Amino acid sequence: MSLEAHIPSGPLSQKWSNHKQDSKLINPANKRKYTVIVVGSGLAGSSAAATLSELGYNVKCFCFQDSPRRAHSIAAQGGINAAKNYQNDGDSTYRLFYDTIKGGDFRAREANVYRLAEVSANIIDQCVAQGVPLAREYGGLLANRSFGGAQVSRTFYARGQTGQQLLLGAYSALSKEIARGGVQMFSRTEMLDLVLVDGQAKGIVVRDLVTGKISSHAGDTVLLCTGGYGNVFYLSTNAKGCNTTAIWRAHRKGALFANPCYTQIHPTCIPVSGDYQSKLTLMSESLRNDGRVWVPKKKDDCGKPPAQIPEDARDYYLERKYPSYGNLAPRDISSRSAKEACDEGRGVGPGGLGVYLDFADAILRYGHDQAADKNISEPELRKLGKAVVAEKYGNLFDMYECITGENGYEQPMRIYPAVHYTMGGLWVDYNLMSNVPGLHVLGEANFSDHGANRLGASALMQGLADGYFVIPTTIANYLASQKPGSVKTDHPAFKEAEAQINGRTKKFIDIKGNRTVDSYHRELGLLMWNECGMARSREGLQKAIDRLPALREDFWNNVRVPGSGADFNQELEKAGRVADFLEFGELMCLDALQREESCGGHFRVEHQYTKEDEAAKRGQAGEALRDDTNYSYVAAWEFTGDVSKPTLHKEPLTYEEVHLAVRSYV
Amino acid sequence: MSALLKSFSTFLGSSIGKKLLVALTGAVLVLFLLGHMIGNLLIFAGPDAINEYGHFLQTMLHGGGVWIARIGLLVSVVVHIVLTIQLTRENRAARTERYGYNATLQASKSSRIMILSGLTILAFIIYHLLHFTVHAGNNYGTYQVILHGENVHDVYKMVIAGFSWLPASIFYIIAMLLLCSHLGHGVSSMFQTLGLATERTRPIYEKIGSAYAALILIGNCSIPIAIYVFHYGR
Amino acid sequence: MASNLNLKLKIWRQPSTNAKGTFQDIDANNIPETASFLEMLDIVNQRIMDGGGDPVAFDHDCREGICGTCSMVINGIPHGPRRGTTACQLHMRLFKSGDTIWIEPFRAKAFPVIKDLAVDRSAFDRIMVAGGFISVRTGSAQDANALPISKDDADSAMDAAECIGCGACVATCKNASAMLFVSAKAGQLNSLPQGQPEKHRRVLGMVQAMDKSGFGNCTNQYECEAACPKGISVRWIAKLNRDYALATVHESLLAPAKGKGGGAA
């Protein structure tokens, strides 16, 4: 199989313009004859559905949530990047492009990333016009902040709820098109299979989650905007419903899955408090601007209250290891360092899985600033400083207290890394179309723009770029070759898919085993977290690969799904998703195993800089060691019928503009 | 014209439209209460003052004034009551299954018995009109007195006689307590429904509402208490 | 050190929309006080299933207080006793061992029960479709900074925009009124300059959709504000009342008569 990415010719900065110029157009009178199926209603799905409907296409949009507004894009806190250069601080399309490519550890496609940076400015215009209340300055113009270690202030935000506001903007656009009749919305409806006719994606089979009814929808093209697969780890910052079923089902029908091992771990989450834990909550990374991360130097001190551990018995490990970046070291580095400390037995809190994030110094420092040169007592200083910290991070401290019952001002917070975002996804070309003709993949569900690691505030940008600006242009390149409405749901392929799903449902119900779906999901999650999480080893990955088929078999023989398939059955919903995660997990491990290098969110313990490298100034000991000679490619996996034996296809990554460099944060 | 009618019927059919009319008619009644109370309090200025006031009302605009006022008030009362009953029925229908465990977060007691206090006040108004306006079952209508050489209705004597009967005074006071409760929520609520309340003004309106309700209660109840308990004018 | 709680739950069980529901008594023993309320329900469900029973259905998704999916009334209060918190962010340490906890669905005619604690809130979506948007086509927007908006206006709009659409306002309202939701959604757009051209249409449309869905009427008791996990102020309701009056005046008296050469057909 050849992976043709269809990158337009010409200089990097002209590629998108050229491509728009060369893309096909569809006569306005014909557009309404084409039905576009959009699965997912997050930033990518809603924006695509609304925009395609505006263009005149007939759109059907599906989401498993009870309302399109609840898609998990809503939970993004930080912000959205855009190369507006409103701050006059030297930002440009090129700089955003470069930062994104570099942040992705040079494992993303140049042309896609450049296009992303290029359309980023239009996204902000569009959102503001929709009434998204982005933060403003007193002069009435938009405010920006610097985010995720960027050197320029290009991040737009709406309090700590940027994702929510952008999603509500896209949802309002979707509502407008539903009102106009261009979009038909199906909430509480989950896609369970992709239907191919003559090798082309022509429809989906869905389950109405309220009535249990299985039905088919035919269209001229299918857009999967179904988000990432972080919940393969069971515990993640993803919503409980996030799943890989849509893209996994498409993968099983022939779509290549690219770079599944690239996952992003966020360093500042609230740690697990017990085995009943159902999800992890992220706290904004901005906390690291003022908090100092530490663990006790000695294991024996871990059980002590932090106040009883003297300063010289504390290990401020980020400041020690990365003196110039200190507590602001990038996400993957901070995360891995926390894991190392805990693996050494120096973690704090329940299960020893946590590190301290301490604001005591910041409170005193701000106290001194406030007091100026007045001579006041330490409690007074603390009071003054606490007010400053509360002003900056009050909502986060409240959230921490709400969840843990601990006061972050009085004692250090405990944090631990958690799975946050997945960079891998279905392989797509420059038109966002997968190798299956007619199947387009947008947002987190595709692999294209973030390489091996995503920059902060770039996920929202990508979802909206794909939906508002890319797909509306590129979809015509496929549709123009299609006769509209050529496939109907009476085609045997639909009946066959429905029968398979009904059979699968019956199988779930009939197993009547001893273990709940969640217990399998937890076991899978723990296995993936231990062996394919922050640090991966050949032995660990092999162990997981050996274990997964057995776990799957046990699941299919011993899971218990109560109730029936003919009503509202949340256990059945979960069973289908976990069954797919159990298959997907193995692909993820296989991908991690074949990638004999460390890059971005993928860290192989065998591939890191050594003390000798450090002495020779090649890189810092313990850091990710990339292998550009052998691994500068996209790993795209083909389903062969055997989950354990997928075929690897490689799309070489060629860089015309940027020079591959070592990420150094020492 | 038909567009205008359509707009009006849409307005009247909508929840906010009905509420706006309830608020506006409520405002009329609130203002009436103040005037009525001030007039009644003239009883403490002696027989001549209140009789003169009564005579003025009777003869204003050659006797037409009182009818204009009566019709205005009647319309306000009818609209106020018909719409609130309709709204209340809709409210009940909006929750078919009740909660097993009931909790209230910040709704005042007054706000929760509006329909009850309102309907009791309606019953009282009917009684009050029969008692002092229609003079049903009494001979207050025959009370006459000479004022500035003119034969006028002796309102003063009627009021003293009316409140000298304990059940009437008690019913009056109970009605005034419920009226106070009704106003305690109604007055500030009016500002909210008319869209005049803001985050900063709402607490002020709430204080105004409470003060107004207390004023009406104290002012109106002072009359039967003075008459029955302190034998004023007896 | 964290301790465990023994609780008596009274959970509403209703197999389907038209079936009759009842409260089921469930003993929930050994619940870690560090668990969230929904994790407590997870534990209870796990035990129900281990005993061969049918788990309690409840809606939930993000479990971090932003998606607005979780929807249950805990001891008479939507999302439970802690102010400004969704049920998923409520933690068991707020309860004491021996407590009886009543858990019910959001009750409103406009929110029919689907099963147990899960309800259908699609009425909110219908209200949004009736005008909760600014009609701007993708690609037609001017530069974002071409239209300065005062910080006060932007911040105020953001106050309204924080609404997560959970429906707690409806659930707690004595009249099951949706005024807080509708007013926040309409108010956000109506207080921004971008929202002015469609202001009247929006208000009339959304209020009509609200009325049609079978919600009750606002009686200014402000229960909604107290139950709202995002603390949306009832000032938005006052604004909606005002905007509705103005829209009616505009529509009935001021707007040009329709059907005369609109030109946009």
Strand-pair partners of C27: C8
Q: Are residues A406 and A501 in the same domain?
A: no
Taking every pair of Cα atoms in chain B, the longest distance, rounded to a whole number of angstroms, is 69
Cα separations in angstroms, A40 against A45, A79, A227, A235, C102: 5, 21, 8, 22, 35
Instruction: Identify whether the C-beta of residue B153 lies closer than 8 Å to the C-beta of residue B81.
Output: no
* Contact at CB, B95 and C175, closer than 8 angstroms: yes
- Domain of A645: which CATH number? 1.20.58.100
Q: Which of residues 151-180 of C touch B (CB under 8 A)?
A: 172, 174-177, 179
pLDDT of the residue at B6: 87
Is C248 strand, coil or helix?
helix
- Reading the block at residue A216, the tokens are 């088919």
Is A195 within the bounds of a domain?
Answer: no
Neighbouring chains to A with at least 3 Cβ pairs closer than 8 Å: C
Q: For chain B, 234 residues long, give each residue's pLDDT as a single digit of tens.
A: 577 888 889 999 999 999 999 999 999 999 999 999 999 999 999 999 999 999 999 999 998 999 999 999 999 999 999 999 999 999 999 999 999 999 999 999 999 999 999 999 999 999 999 999 999 989 999 999 999 989 999 999 999 999 999 999 999 999 999 999 999 999 999 999 999 999 999 999 999 999 999 999 999 999 999 999 999 988
Q: Are residues A391 and A524 in the same domain?
A: no
Q: Does C99 touch chain A (CB under 8 A)?
A: no
Give the model confidence (pLDDT) of A50-76 as tens digits: 999 999 999 999 999 999 999 999 999
Banded pLDDT at A666 (limits 50, 70, 90): low
Whole-number mean pLDDT of chain A? Answer: 95
In chain C, the domains with their CATH numbers are 4-115 (3.10.20.30), 121-136+144-254 (1.10.1060.10)
CA–CA separation, B182 and C33 (whole Å)? 44
Is A596 within the bounds of a domain?
Answer: yes
Whether A and C touch, i.e. at least 3 CB pairs below 8 A, reads as yes
pLDDT(C85) > 90: yes
Strand-pair partners of A560: A516
CA-based nearest residue to A36, from A240, A250, A203, A152: A203
* Contact at CB, C219 and B189, closer than 8 angstroms: yes
Beta strands at A559-560 and A515-516: parallel, antiparallel or unpaired? parallel
- Residue of higher predicted confidence among A374 and C173: C173
User: What ipTM did this prediction achieve?
Assistant: 0.96
pLDDT(C258) > 90: no
Find the catalytic residue in A69, A70, A109, A331: A331
Domain containing residue A290: 265-416
Q: Are residues A401 and A499 in the same domain?
A: no
Q: Are residues A376 and A270 in the same domain?
A: yes
pLDDT(A362) > 50: yes
Neighbouring chains to C with at least 3 Cβ pairs closer than 8 Å: A, B
Is A560 within the bounds of a domain?
Answer: yes
* Contact at CB, C238 and B196, closer than 8 angstroms: yes
CB contacts of A51 in chain C (<8 Å) are 138
Q: Are residues A405 and A502 in the same domain?
A: no
Give the model confidence (pLDDT) of B106-144 as tens digits: 999 999 999 999 999 999 999 999 999 999 989 999 999
CA–CA separation, B165 and B232 (whole Å)? 13
Domain containing residue B221: 13-94+113-229
Highest mean pLDDT among A179-183, A368-372, A379-383: A179-183
CB contacts of C43 in chain A (<8 Å) are 276
- Domain of A315: which CATH number? 3.90.700.10
Q: Which of A122-131, A154-163, B205-214 has the lowest mean pLDDT?
A: A154-163
CA–CA separation, A594 and C219 (whole Å)? 65
CA–CA separation, A77 and B140 (whole Å)? 75
- Reading the block at residue A320, the tokens are 């020690």
Is A572 within the bounds of a domain?
Answer: yes
What average pLDDT does the segment A314-328 reach? Answer: 89
Q: Shortest CB distance from A278 goes to which of C39, C142, C165?
A: C39
CA–CA separation, A176 and C102 (whole Å)? 39
Q: Are residues A639 and A506 in the same domain?
A: yes
Q: Shortest CB distance from A65 goes to which of C61, C131, C151?
A: C61
Domain boundary (A367, A396, A416) is at A416
- Return the percentage of chain C with pLDDT > 90, whole number: 93
pLDDT of the residue at A664: 64
Q: Are residues A280 and A407 in the same domain?
A: yes
Q: Are residues A522 and A411 in the same domain?
A: no
CA angle B46, B48, B53 (to 5 degrees): 105
pLDDT(C261) > 70: no
Instruction: Identify whether the C-beta of residue B197 lies closer than 8 Å to the C-beta of residue C238.
Output: yes
pLDDT(A665) > 80: no
* Contact at CB, B18 and C217, closer than 8 angstroms: yes
Instruction: Identify whether the C-beta of residue A122 lies closer than 8 Å to the C-beta of residue C139.
Output: yes
Q: Which of residues 111-130 of C touch B (CB under 8 A)?
A: none
Interface with chain C: mutation pick from A61, A120, A124, A125, highest number of C CBs within 10 Å: A125
> Alpha-carbon torsion A443, A448, A449, A451, what sign?
positive
Please indicate whether residue A331 is annotated as part of the active site.
yes
Is B1 within the bounds of a domain?
Answer: no
pLDDT of the residue at A615: 87
CB contacts of B193 in chain C (<8 Å) are 218, 220, 238, 241
Q: Are residues A383 and A520 in the same domain?
A: no
CA–CA separation, A182 and A185 (whole Å)? 10
Beta strands at A200-208 and A155-156: parallel, antiparallel or unpaired? unpaired
What average pLDDT does the segment A437-454 reach? Answer: 96
A345: left (phi over 0), alpha (psi -120 to 50) or beta: left
CA–CA separation, A610 and A619 (whole Å)? 8
CA–CA separation, A195 and A498 (whole Å)? 10
CB contacts of C139 in chain A (<8 Å) are 122, 126, 468-469
Strand-pair partners of A195: A203
Q: Shortest CB distance from C59 goes to which of A66, A68, A168?
A: A66
Strand-pair partners of A314: A296
Helix (H) or strand (E) holding A80: strand A80-81
CA–CA separation, A60 and A39 (whole Å)? 8
| Percentages (nearest 5) of helix, strand, coil residues in chain A | 45, 15, 40
Is A574 within the bounds of a domain?
Answer: yes
Instruction: Identify whether the C-beta of residue A247 lies closer than 8 Å to the C-beta of residue A445.
Output: yes
Q: Which of residues 7-46 of C touch A (CB under 8 A)?
A: 15-16, 32, 34-36, 38-39, 42-43, 46
Instruction: Identify whether the C-beta of residue A428 lies closer than 8 Å to the C-beta of residue A434.
Output: yes
pLDDT of the residue at C259: 57
Is B23 within the bounds of a domain?
Answer: yes
- Reading the block at residue A566, the tokens are 């003919």
Q: How far is A124 from chain C (nearest CA, A)?
A: 6
Q: Does B20 touch chain C (CB under 8 A)?
A: yes
Is B69 within the bounds of a domain?
Answer: yes
pLDDT of the residue at C262: 45
Q: Does C94 touch chain A (CB under 8 A)?
A: no
Q: Are residues A510 and A407 in the same domain?
A: no
CB contacts of C5 in chain A (<8 Å) are none
Residues 6+ apart with CB under 8 A from A492: none
- Number of structural domains, chain B? 1
CA-based nearest residue to A636, from A421, A431, A474, A436: A436
Q: Are residues A377 and A508 in the same domain?
A: no
Is B108 within the bounds of a domain?
Answer: no
Q: Does C133 touch chain B (CB under 8 A)?
A: no
- Number of structural domains, chain A? 2
How many residues appear in chain A?
666
Domain boundary (A416, A434, A464) is at A416
Strand-pair partners of A80: A156
- Return the percentage of chain A with pLDDT > 70, whole number: 99
Q: Shortest CB distance from A276 goes to which of C39, C53, C120?
A: C39
Q: Shortest CB distance from C145 goes to which of A142, A277, A404?
A: A142
* Contact at CB, B20 and C215, closer than 8 angstroms: no
